[in-house]
Structure 1
């Protein structure tokens, strides 16, 4: 009972932190403001998350759990047919996408507490996308690229599309644009590069 209540309280804190980061950015989301929003003292909040950095990483990990639920094979690799579903899902939750994108943008600065998280995350995501592309296409995609060379492009497409959509949702149809990208990816009309790197 106590453990269940503690898990509920942690989830409540994470939701409140996401909302606050979306409203004010990471630097503007103070521990005291988060604590007030969930009805705790700052000391009470520190019982669940000992530092602001620990809270930030927990928020990012929680967001990734939402994204990967149902989108992977039993071995943990992504399924290409469900990437489009993830993009559609993200289009229905702009607040979460905005929070992630804001933190990603901030994390490139030296000493940002999320920098290590995002660096590690992108290493894992690129490897997972390469494994997914290999399962789908083998050692070469229709255009001639290896899965390892195509994986960063796929990740860049997904994250870059999110930024464009957040800035101008009326002009950028994120799910439709991603479907267009998948069409390009699957195209067999492209010829392989003249000097493909392995």
Structure 2
């Protein structure tokens, strides 16, 4: 019974991940408003009722998709396993370079984050918790580099983590609006290299 239960759980998780991967593509290609639950269900080869069994509404599906995208980023860029502060900041450069190849996802994230500033939005908690996690992880990496002597002792990790994330998001918006004139990846790479130079003891 236990083995059967585990197999059933694994199958359910695999089905859920397949739905999320398909929904991620749909949201990236068509945006939130242009994506329909019926289309996601059709591509996932389940009924719309079956889709709603896993995700009670389109809003819940969107939040789950955004969380899934974050999980994919963590798999692709294991931030916690880096050894130095320089490596940690260059992981952020890698993330920005990857994002420059998936404009649909970046647009979805940018719109969702902007809408989520209102407390009653379905993505509000996701956006708040995501920024807290990003700040904490980035500040932690900077703090460890300060403690090891890699970075200057007078650096404030929290402040610089907040600034880095603000630069990332601001560049994303400018790039989405004017991609022919804003090279998001190159500008952010230069910003990080300037910081690493300034952070040296």
Structure 1 length normalisation: TM-score?
A: 0.79
Give matches, 1:1-198, under 5 Å: 3-69=9-75, 70-74=77-81, 79-138=88-147, 144-188=154-198
Aligned length in residues? 189
Q: Shift of the alpha carbon at 1:31?
A: 2.5
SS in 2 for 1:79: helix
1:48–1:65 Cα change, 3 Å? same
The answer to whether the 8 A contact 2:27-2:105 is kept is no
Structure 2, unpaired ranges of 5+:
1-6
The alignment's C-alpha RMSD in Å is: 3.0
How big is the shift at 1:2? 5.1
What are the Cα deviations for residues 144-184 of structure 1, in whole angstroms up to 9, with x where unaligned? Answer: 54111111111111111112222222211122101111133
Residue 42 of structure 1: CA displacement?
1.4
